Amino acid sequence: MTDAKAIIQDTISKNDVVLFMKGTKMAPQCGFSSRVAGVLNFMGVDFADVNVLADADIRQGIKDFSDWPTIPQLYVKGEFVGGCDIITEMTLNGELDEMFAAKGVAFSKEAADKIRETNA
């Protein structure tokens, strides 16, 4: 699992936003991964996607790395943010916008507002 930890650390250090997910950002393989990737895609966030279904060591390794039992997992500027429920809540209450703005991550404020309007 040491190799997986090194790969995970390298991935999150080289990319501002990383989503460890089931499937890819263009072809998610579960509803939770689809929801988070959909939010990021809709908001125009440039993010790296890591398909945990392609590597069992990474799939288990990311859970151990974050001490979080579920997939997807979002990292922003090297920091673990959360999974689907947390990202959904942060999107709807505006905290995700605030975090992206504070960390210098480009995103569409208009798209984020549209998500909130649609889900109000």
Tens digits of residue pLDDT in 47-86: 999 999 999 999 999 999 999 999 999 999 999 999 999 9
Q: pLDDT at residue 2 above 90?
A: no
Instruction: Assign 120 a pLDDT band (cuts: 50, 70, 90).
Output: confident
pTM of the complete model: 0.95
Q: pLDDT at residue 113 above 60?
A: yes
Domain boundary assignment for the chain: 2-118
At the top level of CATH, which class does the domain 2-118 belong to? Answer: alpha beta
Rounded Cα distance between 65 and 6, Å, is 10
pLDDT computed for residue 75 by the predictor: 98
Average pLDDT over residues 15-24: 98
Q: How confident is the model over 82-112, as pLDDT tens digits?
A: 999 999 999 999 999 999 999 999 999 999 9
Which residues, 6+ apart, have CB-to-CB distance to 19 below 8 Å? 25, 33, 36, 37, 40, 47, 48, 49, 50, 72, 73, 74, 75
